[in-house]
Amino acid sequence: MVIMRPLAVLRHDLPASLVVFLVAVPLSLGIALASGAPVAAGLVAAVVGGVVAGALGGSALQVSGPAAGLTVVMAETIDTFGWAVTCAITVAAGACQILLGLSRIARAALAISPAIVHGMLAGIGVTIVLGQLHVVLGGKAQSSAVQNIAELPGQIVAHHDSAAIIGLLTIAILLLWPKLPAAVRKVPGPLAAIAAATVVSVAFGMTLPRVELPGDVLDIGLVPRLPDGGWGAFALAVVTIALIASVESLLSAVAVDKMHTGRRANLDRELVGQGAANMVSGALGGLPVTGVIVRSSTNVTAGARTRASAVLHGVWVLLFVVLLAGLIQSIPLAALAGLLVHVGAKLVNPGHIKTVLAHGDLPVYLLTLAGVVVFDLLTGVLAGIGLALVLMLRRTLWSGIHVEREGDGWRVVVEGVLTFLSVPRLSKVLGTIPSGVPVRLELVVDYLDHAAFESLTTWQQAHERAGGTVEVDEVGHPWFGEGKAGRPTRSRLHASRAVPRWLAPWSEWQATEGIPTQQTRNGATEFHRRTAPLLKNTLSGLADGQRPRTLFITCGDSRIVPNLITTSGPGDLFTIRNIGNLVPPGQADPSMNASIEFAVGVLGVEEIVVCGHSGCGAMAALVDGPPPGPLSVWLRHAEPSAHRLGAATLDGAVPAREGDRLALHNVLQQLDHLREYPSVAAAEAAGKLQLTGMYFAVGTAQVHLFDPAERTFRPAGAPVAVPGA
């Protein structure tokens, strides 16, 4: 059921529908001509596509009608079966589309590679251009693209009559139209070109083929007829048209969604609506209907808001055919051919070629295009799908393997998926490594199968027997290590999620217990190999100075990693760490004084964070009484926190451990100490500096921020009141 708001229809949809109507009429006539169908069939499809698909479809702003993408298939189908059986094929294809929509598999069409879709459209465009150029030059299109290519040189040098003048005039107007002033371009280019060509042909009394319509356009009758035999070919044609029409409609609907901010398309409902339109169009003697991006984009650009625009455009086409059929019959076929040459050429989009080239899918695009032009659309699409699957398997299963010298040893890096398909190349690369040398084998793999595991194990054992050493370094899930331990991982589903090494402690990825200096050395080496290349550009921009936004004061506890819990990087935090994250009252510590004054006065930080944490040893010592010595002297600065009144809570609850309760009080107390600094107080009063209290719960890896309004530390992500806001 279509629900339309009258005001929206009058203000937005009515004008938009008129613009789309002006674009649809010449395109519908031209597509019917290129398909070899009765010219009236294109107009019937335009009316039905607008009214039926517009009312029932799942994309409110998509406009449907006869599409250039089906011209090649329709020409072959009409040539094979005749027009009456072709109409029956259109009805059956519509029924298939309805079944596909009801089965809710519409989104499966989105799995088709864009390179195939763009290659298909380009192939259709080339085929249309090759055929219609003959008509533009006063000749007749041949039965295949290859024959059109073979005959084109002779057609070019042949004698050209008035048809060639009209066809070339149409193309020239279409090429020049986008360069004209905006006021002129309010008239759609296709309409202007066809109108101008028609006026010229009539004014100069040119004798040339023109559009032919039946005496009574509305007297269509029941056109469809089932074939007398050849049901296999009939079924293949039905499936082909249904699939192509469905894919084109769905991709067009997705593209239209990107052009507006309204409700997203229901793709399953869109298929049902397209199927219903095709059943009606075929029954009335019309061409197949699809969602058409040219008309749909025009609809959105013209300001349409609801599906009323698509429906009304179909009504205008119907009224135009009924009231102005004589005007349509004045249009030269050469003018429509010129329009189709322009449309076909635009289907070969250079932007699409650049995109598929950048993604490495140019072979798929070219194979699909060539298949459509040389053979037929279905062959081209199937060839493109086959090549896309081969490339996908190669990218998924092929491993990156390379070897290089590293000091006195060798470094072998294996990346990607390591399976039996890569074993021959892996064995060849490993065979180039001399015997008796140290080897570092880095496995950065997403999966390692049994064959690859056996190959690596056999080579490692042989290399070590020959006097060499092999250090296996697995970045990610330990596929190889688990296999050697007798616990091989069977699939990616059972692989544990590996923590990146820059987030994981040494104990999780280094087997160097008892050799702390080796751990540091290994960590620095890991940074040099993998992290430094990623940070080089960032650090080069910081080489001449720092510009941090935040002063971060926290505890020296090894479990607190400021950049980790704030997801920050080099140059973001100016960090001060001490026992208990203290800011001594009365500016009693020269080191702290210098750091704060430098951060606020020189660096101009915009925020100061004081971060406490659970399980703080300093707070526990303060509760129990610290032993005599430097620690006891330092913790005297925390005594104001111990005497602080009130209850500090963690998301409304009081922590069970006294040390954690004191850690919360301590954060708030240090914020008060910060406000004793003149530079801090002045910057905060001027709105240039914000003080933030933070608490990190180590056991749950949860960051809490102080909410001044609720007087509690709340989990990060929850709304936090900003003082003075």
Catalytic residues: 555, 557, 559, 613, 616
- Known binder of ligand: residue 613? yes
Q: How far apart are CA 337 and CA 164, in angstroms?
A: 10
Residue 276 gets which letter from DSSP?
A: H
Residues 6+ apart with CB under 8 A from 601: 679
Determine how many CB atoms are found less than 10 A away from the CB of residue 525. 11
- Known binder of ligand: residue 557? yes
Enumerate long-range contacts of 617-626, CB under 8 Å, 24 or more apart: 617/557, 618/555, 618/579, 618/580, 618/582, 619/580, 619/659, 619/660, 619/662, 619/663, 619/666, 620/659, 622/580, 622/659, 622/662, 623/658, 623/659, 623/662
Ordered DSSP codes for 554-565: EE--TT--HHHH
Q: How far apart are CA 186 and CA 189, in angstroms?
A: 9
Residue 307 half-sphere exposure toward CB, CA atoms < 13 A: 23
**Phi, psi of 719, rounded to the nearest 5 degrees:** -55, 130
The candidate with the shortest Cα–Cα distance to 430, out of 398, 457, 393, is 457
CB 531 within 8 A of CB 556: no
**Phi, psi of 551, rounded to the nearest 5 degrees:** -95, 120
Going along 522-672, which residue ranges are E strands? 550-555, 573-578, 607-613, 649-650
Residues linked to residue 471 through DSSP beta bridges, in sequence order: 440
Going along 583-652, which residue ranges are E strands? 607-613, 649-650
Helix-helix angle 189-203:162-176, to 10 degrees: 150
Could you tell me how many helices (H) and strands (E) the chain has, helices first? 32, 13
CB 253 within 8 A of CB 58: yes
How far is C-alpha 343 from the geometric centre of its chain's CA atoms?
27
Q: How far apart are CA 150 and CA 143, in angstroms?
A: 12
Q: How far apart are CA 344 and CA 146, in angstroms?
A: 17
Residues linked to residue 693 through DSSP beta bridges, in sequence order: 610
For 108, the 3-state DSSP assignment is: helix
As to burial, measured by CB atoms within 10 angstroms (0-12 exposed, 13-18 middle, 19+ buried), residue 393 is exposed
Token output for 546: 């720092």
The candidate with the shortest Cα–Cα distance to 81, out of 291, 223, 213, is 223
Annotated binding-site ranges for Zn(2+): 555, 557, 613, 616
Binding residues: 555, 557, 613, 616
